[in-house]
Chain A
Amino acid sequence: QLQLQESGPGLVKPSGTLSLTCAVSGDSISSNNWWNWVRQTPGKGLEWIGEIHHTGSASGTTNYNPSLMSRVTISLDKSRNQSSLKLNSVTAADTAVYYCARVPGGCSATSCFFDPWGQGTLVTVSS
């Protein structure tokens, strides 16, 4: 059964870098899927951060939300079968529950959805 598990520090200082990993079990990070990051705040709701696919270059192919693009890096660690998220120059507005999620097979001509999701991890930005 496919499972995604986020992990990382629950507290990050302002102006610092938020770093999270998403461990994938039951599927290969090198399979034909897009691995995504989504965050959720009480104020802005669900917000897509970005995604990565293992093909296209040595570091994979990425797409990012334009509103976060300047601060975000998503990468894959094939040896550990996990995805990583880095968000730099964080502020209190980046306090959120961060989820990883899979888009199975990518967006086809007939469907595009996140399934499954990890359970999420709360990251608080505070000094």
Chain B
Amino acid sequence: EIVLTQSPGTLSLSPGERASLSCRASHTVRSDYLVWYQQKPGQAPRLVIYGASSRATDIPDRFSGSGSGTDFTLTISRLEPEDFAVYYCQLFGSSPMYIFGQGTKLEIK
């Protein structure tokens, strides 16, 4: 069974700074199936990146995704106040079919 480990658990940064969030898989995975979601308090997760590097509709270009194999990164180039949230990576794999990381909380420093 594949496990997704996100780091750090909490990232404290200021608006305007650059954020790098990591998602590491326990085994080599298909990049096509690596996804990132943003979740704000009281809201459902929102698709940000799919296929490891493709931005979802209406996602600003300050968000980018990269990586392959076992290591993936979500980068936010210049943080805006609305970007502070919890971010989850997710993978479509074998059984169970959809796996989530435990999340990284991006908070205002």
Which chain A residue shows the least CB distance to B86? A45
Complexed CA–CA distance, A119 and B44 (Å): 5
Q: Which residues of A contact B103 (CB under 8 A)?
A: 45-46
Interface size classification for chain A:
20 to 34
Complexed CA–CA distance, A107 and B30 (Å): 12
In residues 51-84 of chain B, which contact A (Cβ within 8 Å)?
A: 51, 54, 56
Complexed CA–CA distance, A38 and B100 (Å): 10
In residues 31-67 of chain A, which contact B (Cβ within 8 Å)?
A: 36, 38, 45-48, 51, 63, 65-67
Interface size classification for chain B:
20 to 34
Binary contact track B82-109/A, C-beta < 8 Å → 1, others 0: 0000001010100111111111000000
B11 at the interface (CB under 8 A from A): no
Q: Which residues of B contact A127 (CB under 8 A)?
A: none
Which chain A residue shows the least CB distance to B95? A66
Q: Does B44 lie within 8 Å of A111, measured CB to CB?
A: no
Which chain A residue shows the least CB distance to B97? A63
Q: Which residues of A contact B54 (CB under 8 A)?
A: 111
The 9 closest A-B pairs by CB, nearest first: A117-B44, A48-B98, A112-B92, A46-B100, A115-B47, A113-B50, A65-B96, A113-B35, A111-B51
Known: A45-B88, A46-B90, A48-B96. 13 other contacts (CB 8 A): A45-B102, A46-B88, A46-B103, A48-B98, A48-B100, A51-B97, A66-B96, A109-B32, A113-B47, A114-B35, A114-B47, A114-B90, A118-B44
Q: Give residues in A with beta carbon < 8 Å to B.
A: 36, 38, 45-48, 51, 63, 65-67, 99, 101, 107, 109-120
Show 5 residue pairs from A and B whose CB-CB distance is below 8 angstroms, ordered by the A residue: A45-B88, A47-B100, A112-B92, A114-B35, A114-B37
